[in-house]
Structure 1
Amino acid sequence: MPALDPSARPVPLSPTLAINEAIARRRREGRRVLPLGFGEAGIPIHPALTRELAAAADQGAYGPVAGSAALRAAAAGYWYRRGLATDPDLVVSGPGSKPLLYALMMAVGGEIAVPAPSWVSYAAQATLTGAGSVPIATPPGEGGVPNPALLADAVVRARAQGRTIRAVVVTLPDNPTGTLASAATVRRLCAVAREHDLVIISDEIYRDLVHDPSRTVTSPAEYAPERTVVTTALSKSLAAGGWRIGVARLPDAPFGHELRARLLGIASELWSSAPAPMQHAAAYAFGEPAELVEHVDRSRRLHAAVTAAVADRFAAAGARVAAPEAAFYTYPDLDPFRDHLREAHGVRTGAELTELLLERYGVGVLPAAAFGEPERALRVRVATSLLYGDTDERRLAALAAPDPAALPWIAAGLDRIDEVLDDLKAASGHALEPAMAG
């Protein structure tokens, strides 16, 4: 029988996908589930996108590695409308921003500085490149961007040890915290990157889902255009995660052209070209016709309302939680319950807490350790968007509702959060009676 190399480092399933599969298993078993672990956007695909996809279904030939001219021009226009003039020749598409991020890490080389906490895949992908990552704490209340002073210190220390940190990843707005770093923090980060010659990889996939429409996202590409790569995709603002299509904007500088050549070489061996029908639909989406602009705006309002309601439930129970500012995540800290959780439930780590929540209460969330924080941390990422409904009819009703949190099925989810938190804090530690899935 063949055998795997025992020295090869195994790659575990991504925590976000693992929790999604665990929740699906519970549902198949007929057990009650509150799905708060997976970052799915939770809204139906807009009919205009399915129309465009169907119109290109007969496009089965390979295309340019960088992507079609139409998609690259549309993406360039998308960024131009956000204050980032973009050369379409410096846009590269791929089957989702996730593989683009991995290919960029491979192309840049060296260790990657990542925020702590940060999306689960940054550090994992850096490990897959063979170089690894360096976690850098974020400023209080500003997720997604490493503290600039700590970043500078980490780079100096690494180089003194003969190691090379070549790039830093930022997320604007942030997953897992649902917060948005200030322009001042981004400006300071860019100054550090320039001083220490770091590439900035700015993941802006949630850019269009800032809850307050008057608040703008400050991209590092505004302050350090010669060294900033920006990525985005359709999976969050337009809920097309399963379509797997994303784009990267490279710097309009000699470095950007060199990076493009490397990135295309890697892409040519990994995915050849993004699927042509998806590129056609994405070109339409990045053109931002009025029907899609309105759809994104409605989804932004829905995310803001439900995420705020969920955060309020945790805050009312005594958890520490920052007000959500973007996307559909909140990141409550249950440390105020630490002594009780240890005494009543035997919980000492974030992983033990989330296991308790899933196995005893049917609540799926992810521990802070999955996002690069210490095992001891009792923060959890709560993804709220799967509360919108389990059918398209309900999800569309949630999109249209002036107060989506008042809809019966969403209100029931919020009430369930209250029940679980109340029982979790109960002195007896006895669990609520599990209910069968309806």
Structure 2
Amino acid sequence: MRRTDPEGRGPVRYGPPPPEPGLPVLPEVAAAAAAAAGRSHGEPPGGGPVLLDAACGYWSRRGLPAERDHVVAAPGAPALLLALTAALGGDVLLPRPCPAWWAPQARLLGRAVYHVPTPAECGGVPDPYALLETVRRVRAEGGRPRLLVLSVADDPTATVPPPEVLHEAVEAAADEGLHVISDETWRDTLHRPRDTVLIGPAEMDHARVTVLSDLSGAFLPPALPAAVARFPATAAGSALRARTLDVLAALGAVPGGPAAAAAAYALGEPDEIGDRLTSAVRLHARVAAAAQRAVLAAGALARPPQAGRHLYADLGPLRPALAARGVADAQDLEDFLGDRLGMPAPGGHRFGDEIDALRVRLTTGPLLGSTPDERMASLAAPDPLELPHVERALSRFGSAFDDLRAEAQRMEPPR
């Protein structure tokens, strides 16, 4: 029987924060924001020309040419996704699991949300056959599926879908007349960029894909919220952009001046931004790989993290040991590991997984150090895993899982 949380910890107010950067703000980003703090005028709805031109340049360098009137900016990805969902209309399809902030936007608008299983090899995109089956079932029941949201570098699973899997999902969406929103927040944080092929849906279907990016993924701290979207260069894309701007204007969801200035600076990708991003990705990749090894050594499951600052672990194999400690579902696991690790450990139910599944997203930011000096030392170190403070943090992290493994072994029946 599924329990009711007596504290009412729902998916919005108590939803998990994005994976922590774990690093101090780049001085040049802080300076760009500070320089704009004295302006008396605000940004217009959808962002001003400087920010929009910077977003166009960012996408053009990635093989997605864009003009100013194909781009929109907002104070964070949730507001932008809310506006897009409102502008598109219809029911929403999401992969299972998916980022915790996707579903609340649709539900806030009274839209039905349908989760579609992901392929075995990755998260972020729906299995194409399951997608077709879900769309047809929803229509047979009187629903109106209109929108598919997916991710090419996934939170929470930290995986990147193979191009052929993504292509099949995009083709299935096109066959059913769905508009695709591609969340590419983490596309610039690939752990092995030379070995990982990342192709976005907009490169496969130019007419039906809107690309969204929350700049807190790679470029900005959460304290400077900014997100951008690129619309198809079609009449339908222009109409969707206009409706999205109407919603943003009605909400008063305009980028703050300091955040817009910092975003424009970061999207220009000067050397300082590129150098920090490269170093930060390398650091998080090393620590995430070490955290995955600790999870696997304890007998739990986790796909190799390929992007971002997190990994997604399945503690199902340790269920008997967890049950002995009062952990019966993902909410219990969230509470248990949060206390044991001393860091956020949101359960899989936050990301659309069933609450009975013992899955959890673990983030690497808290493992980089407890002070700005320690974190900067981690960033500069040739091998951060050899630093005493990182070694201690990973040891504490691993011991929480080792204890469960030892208890599970004690509970195994004698052979």
1:127-166 equivalences in 2 (<5 Å): 127-166=107-146
Structural RMSD (CA): 2.1
* Regions of 4+ moved over 3 Å: 11-20, 358-364, 425-430
Partner of 1:48: 28
Q: Distance in 2 between matches of 1:259 and 1:383?
A: 35
Q: Does 1:80 align with 2:60?
A: yes
Partner of 1:6: none
Using the TM superposition, give the Cα deviation of residue 120 of structure 1 relative to its aligned residue in structure 2, in angstroms. Answer: 0.9
Q: Distance in 2 between matches of 1:55 and 1:281?
A: 9
Q: Answer yes or no: is the 8 Å Cα contact 1:350–1:367 preserved in 2.
A: yes
Q: Distance in 1 between matches of 2:8 and 2:282?
A: 35
Q: Distance in 1 between matches of 2:394 and 2:344?
A: 14
Partner of 2:84: 104
Q: Distance in 2 between matches of 1:287 and 1:360?
A: 41
Gaps of 5+ in 1: 1-10, 21-36, 431-438
Partner of 1:313: 294
Using the TM superposition, give the Cα deviation of residue 162 of structure 1 relative to its aligned residue in structure 2, in angstroms. Answer: 1.2
Partner of 2:386: 406
Using the TM superposition, give the Cα deviation of residue 363 of structure 1 relative to its aligned residue in structure 2, in angstroms. Answer: 5.2
Partner of 2:249: 268
Amino acid at match of 2:366: L
- SS state at 1:241 partner: coil
What TM-score results when the alignment is normalised by the length of structure 2? 0.92
Query: Identity of aligned pairs, percent?
Result: 37
Partner of 2:352: 372
Cα deviations across residues 143-195 of structure 1 (Å, max 9, x unaligned)? 11111111111111111111011000011200011101111111111111211
Q: Distance in 2 between matches of 1:193 and 1:371?
A: 22
- SS state at 1:380 partner: strand
Q: Answer yes or no: is the 8 Å Cα contact 2:71–2:230 preserved in 1.
A: yes
Q: Distance in 2 between matches of 1:250 and 1:14?
A: 32
Aligned positions, number: 403
Partner of 1:241: 222
Q: Does 1:177 align with 2:173?
A: no
Cα deviations across residues 265-316 of structure 1 (Å, max 9, x unaligned)? 1000112521123212211111111111111111110110010010010111
Partner of 2:190: 210
Distance 1:64 1:320, change over 3 A: same
Q: Distance in 2 between matches of 1:159 and 1:220?
A: 24
Distance 1:428 1:211, change over 3 A: closer
Q: Answer yes or no: is the 8 Å Cα contact 1:115–1:136 preserved in 2.
A: yes
Candidates 120, 126, 145, aligned match of 2:106: 126
Partner of 1:57: 37
Gaps of 5+ in 2: 1-6, 411-415
Q: Distance in 2 between matches of 1:58 and 1:351?
A: 44
- SS state at 2:218 partner: coil
Partner of 1:417: 397
Using the TM superposition, give the Cα deviation of residue 86 of structure 1 relative to its aligned residue in structure 2, in angstroms. Answer: 1.0
Q: Answer yes or no: is the 8 Å Cα contact 1:43–1:239 preserved in 2.
A: no
Using the TM superposition, give the Cα deviation of residue 419 of structure 1 relative to its aligned residue in structure 2, in angstroms. Answer: 1.6
Partner of 1:383: 363
